[in-house]
Structures are given as C-alpha cells and as structure tokens.
Amino acid sequence: MSTDAHTPRRTFAIISHPDAGKTTLTEKLLLYGGAIHLAGSVRAARARRHATSDWMELEKQRGISITSSVLQFPYAGTRFNLLDTPGHQDFSEDTYRTLTAADCAVMLIDAAKGVEAQTRKLFQVCRLRNTPIATFINKLDRPGRDPFELMTEIEQLLSIHCVPVNWPIGSGTGFRGVYDRLSHKVLVFTRAGDHGQSVVNMEELSVDDPRLPEIVGETQWQMTRDEIELLDTAGEDVDVQAFREGKITPVFFGSAMTNFGIEPFLARFKDFAPPPAPRASSRGLVQASDRDFSAFIFKVQANMDKAHRDRVAFMRVCSGAFQSGMWVKHVRLGKEVRLSRPQQFFAQERTLVDEAYPGDVLGVFDPGMFRIGDTIVTGESFTFDAVPRFSPEHFARLRAKDPSRRKQFVQGLSQLVEEGTAQIFTVPGQEQQPVLGVVGQLQFEVLEHRLKSEYGVEVYLELLPYSHARWVEGEEATADAFEGRGYGAALYDQDGKLVVLFKSDWSLGIAERDFPKVTFHTTAPILIAPSK
C-alpha cells in the first residue's frame, strides 16, 4: 500500500453496540479496500492471535476482544486508518481514548434494534470533541424496523439531525439495493452465493430505467419511489460541511453480511470524511500541514507478545513526517529519544514502517517511557491538550492477599493505571486499600489476571455499589461536604483531585440540586506533569 505523503489519509473508528456487526463491517471494508481477498480472515487472524498471545488467554476464554488495534486499507486513492475499538459489552476506557485519536466515527446500528446502550455512550464521547459521525444502518437483509422510524429514534435519542445519503430498496429477503440520493442512481446488488466472502455484483441504473419495476418488484419499486419523493420534498441535501462540524449525521443503509451497500458507503464516505484535523496544544492549534513532526500517545498496551515483556505505545501522528530511525523529543521527559521498531498494522498483520504522516498511527515498542497523553515532537517543544479520563462506572476496593508482596502490588497497580486499564482513587490514610474504577466490569478480571500473572500478586477485590464518578469543582466542593451525608463517597484521584462516587443517577441528582455552585465534571484531564 502506498504510504507516501501525498496519499490522503482518513482516520476513523466504528462505534456500535456489541453484535451490531462491527467485526463483519471491518472485514468488508478491508475486502473492498483490497487489503484481504476473502472475508473471514479477520476472524481467523484473531483466532491465530489468541494462539500466540498469552495474557490474552482471558480474551480467548471469554471469546471477546479486549484489545484494540489499527487497520489500514486503501480505497480509491485514499488511505483509511481504522482504529478498532474493543466492542464487547464490558468495554474499557481504551475504547473512549481511541476515539480521541480518530477524526471521525461511523456509528453502526442494527436495523432491528436501533440505538442501543453502548452506541449511546460512545456517541456522547464523540460529541465531547465534536467528532463528525456518519451512520451505517446494518442488517437490512433481515427483517428490521422502518428506516424513517430508525432515523427518528436517532434524532430523538442522540439529538443529531439525520440526512440519508442513500435509501434502501426493500428489506429482509427483499433487500435489493440502495438509491443514491446524490447521483439519483439505483444500485442493485446480486448475491454472489458465497455468504458475502467476496465482492458483490452491483449494477448501476438510472432511476427512470424501465427494467426497475421488474428487477425490484412492482409494489416495492412504487413504495421506494414514494419514499424517495418524500425525502426529496423534505428537500435536504447532504451538507458535508455540516457533517464535518458534527451538526448532522449522513445516513447509509446496507448489509455487512451480504456486502450490499458497502461500496456505495465507501464511495461517499471517502469524500465526506474529514482530513486529519488540527489539534489543540499549548501553542495553539497544530495543523496537519505544519512542517515539524508531532504525535501524541493515546494508548499503551502491555505484553501483546508474551515473548517480550515490553509494552506497545500507540501514537497518532498529527503533523510533519515520521521517518524510521529519527530522533524525536519526548516532551514530558525533556529528552531526545529514538522510536524503536515503529510498526503499523495491515489487516491485523504487523509491519515495520519507514514513514508515517498525519492521520497515521504508529505502534512503538516502549520500555516504559510512554504514558497516555504524552506529546512527541521535533523542533520546538509543546504539549497537546490532555486526553481526558472518563467517569468509570464500576468500582472495587483492592487489597493484596499476601502483605509481603505489597511492593509488587503497588508497582503492578501503578503500571496498569498508567496504561489506562483502571483509575485509582484513595482516601487519605487508606492508601493501602485503593479504590479502582473501570469503565467496563471485565477490566477487573483483566486486572486480577495481570497482577497475578505478571507481578505474582493475588488480590482481594471487593465490589463497591457506586456507578458514577464526578470530579467536583468550586468553593463548596470539599470532601467534608459530601462525605458521610448519604450522597456517596469522597475520594482523591491519582492527581489529587477531589472525586465523589455516587450510587445512582438519583443520588447524583440530589447532590447537584444541593450544591448549585459546584460543577460536577464527567471527565478529568490527565495531567501531564513534567518529570522531575
């Protein structure tokens, strides 16, 4: 694949609820990009990875993907970088952070289910940064809900205006194709008969083609024409600028399983998706076109390969050009470093890279010097604005079973906290028994497993009944004001900021009512203090 500076980059992530079809869609995007030749290999690669990656034993046992990676595929002269976010119900903060490295997101919705819980959470995270969101309504090959009803649900639940780019012709076994509202063409698909393993046959017809009633069925075609007319009367065209500003979501229909609608999606998404965005920093907006190289770390992953106890740090390139072997400045450490064995991920295979440009993601071996949020530059030093920490939703008190392994316990914990596996909260005087907060409950299992296998520490984990953390700010925001008064528990985060843990929406609501002058933040910036 071309990696030269002139190939446009589009960097995005897919957000969805488990089972909406993210793995299937990812695979089909790779198929249409020519990155794989027969669908089915992503799952197979995943299975292979299970065989080689040991700490992922847990992942294998649970049959889920905890880790995320970056996939690239080319399409029509554009290079897409797809940031793969962990998709299981028990997703982690990694999922959120990965979104901060994407320039846009594709919201994948199961046509039978509509907007589901996890989609909603991830949507809100995108909204925090005004990340543009396109919508792909999937599984049209199965009986689903009415497309108008689905769009209304998205608008009502997510408060974003939907503008269909294409429109489905039929549904379930009668799903024959889509009508492209921009070109006014009808795209009719024919099943290849190999369960969507290879590219599907697509015929492009004019909307007035006399064969259409016969091809899609007379009643169906009449219905589609009425629907198209209705959409046209509403008179809304897709406004790419409004999408890029996060004001509307362009909506596509299709079936990742049968490949119907994949190509029409890619063909438009290529033009709609924004180029690498400028990013806020201590010296103002950093533009992708700036000459000096800059990048930030959005994810650190330990022991992807058990043979190396190293970690892999994932960095998103924001400006300039990266060349293999070059020296860069690690701003927090104030030190020149050489990035070791930079890798990219091609259809889940890792390859060493020579060059990378804005929008690209590099994985570098990390002997322990990178933290989430670190800025890497050449030229003048600056720091990118912090990657936020999000409110965990599950909490537990943790204690080492064997007090003599206290040192390893502290070391292991701080490593895992640094990686972003969990957040740590303490009460002054009770530092020996910290409270850990995670976004998905599975992270507790990951923590227990890793503390045991990597640090030889067994722990007692006592689940706590809290479900929300709020960083509180304001004159009245003191630990005493909240502690012991039934709101929840007042603790301090790893940067010494006051956090209140609430048991329910209800107790949070009461506290908000009782303390109108206090601000309750759902996120906290990760402080990137310079090293001493």
Task: Name the residue nearer to ligand G4P (CB basis): 88 or 497.
Answer: 88
Task: Name the residue nearer to ligand G4P (CB basis): 138 or 415.
Answer: 138
Q: Pick from 359, 330, 387: which is nearest to 524 by CA?
A: 387
Query: Taken in order 95, 100, 103, 109, is the CA torsion positive or negative?
Result: positive
Smallest distance from the beta carbon of 196 to ligand G4P, in angstroms?
8
Task: Name the residue nearer to ligand G4P (CB basis): 109 or 396.
Answer: 109
- Gap between the Cα atoms of 176 and 189, Å rounded: 6
Smallest distance from the beta carbon of 331 to ligand G4P, in angstroms?
36
- Gap between the Cα atoms of 405 and 409, Å rounded: 6
- Gap between the Cα atoms of 330 and 54, Å rounded: 31
- Gap between the Cα atoms of 138 and 256, Å rounded: 6
Smallest distance from the beta carbon of 197 to ligand G4P, in angstroms?
12
Smallest distance from the beta carbon of 183 to ligand G4P, in angstroms?
23
Phi/psi of residue 154, each to 5°?
-60, -45
Crossing angle of helices 22-32 and 41-52, in 10° steps, is: 110
Task: Name the residue nearer to ligand G4P (CB basis): 24 or 95.
Answer: 24
DSSP state of 393: S
Task: Name the residue nearer to ligand G4P (CB basis): 66 or 257.
Answer: 257
Task: Name the residue nearer to ligand G4P (CB basis): 142 or 399.
Answer: 142
Smallest distance from the beta carbon of 361 to ligand G4P, in angstroms?
20
Smallest distance from the beta carbon of 99 to ligand G4P, in angstroms?
16
Task: Name the residue nearer to ligand G4P (CB basis): 22 or 311.
Answer: 22
Task: Name the residue nearer to ligand G4P (CB basis): 18 or 363.
Answer: 18
- Sheet-wide strand order for 423-425: 423-425, 435-438, 394-400, 459-464
Residues 6+ apart with CB under 8 A from 33: 73, 74, 75, 80, 266
Written in H, E and C, the secondary structure of 40-108 is CHHHHHHHHHHHHCCCCHHHHHHCCCCCCCEEEEEECCEEEEEECCCCCCCCCHHHHHHHHCCCEEEEE
Smallest distance from the beta carbon of 56 to ligand G4P, in angstroms?
17
Smallest distance from the beta carbon of 167 to ligand G4P, in angstroms?
17
Residues 6+ apart with CB under 8 A from 31: 37, 38, 39, 198, 199, 259, 262
104-110/133-138 β-pairing: parallel
Smallest distance from the beta carbon of 321 to ligand G4P, in angstroms?
34
Task: Name the residue nearer to ligand G4P (CB basis): 103 or 110.
Answer: 110
201-206/104-110 β-pairing: unpaired
Residues that bind ligand G4P (CB under 6 A): 16, 18-24, 87, 138-139, 141-142, 255-257
- Gap between the Cα atoms of 76 and 70, Å rounded: 20
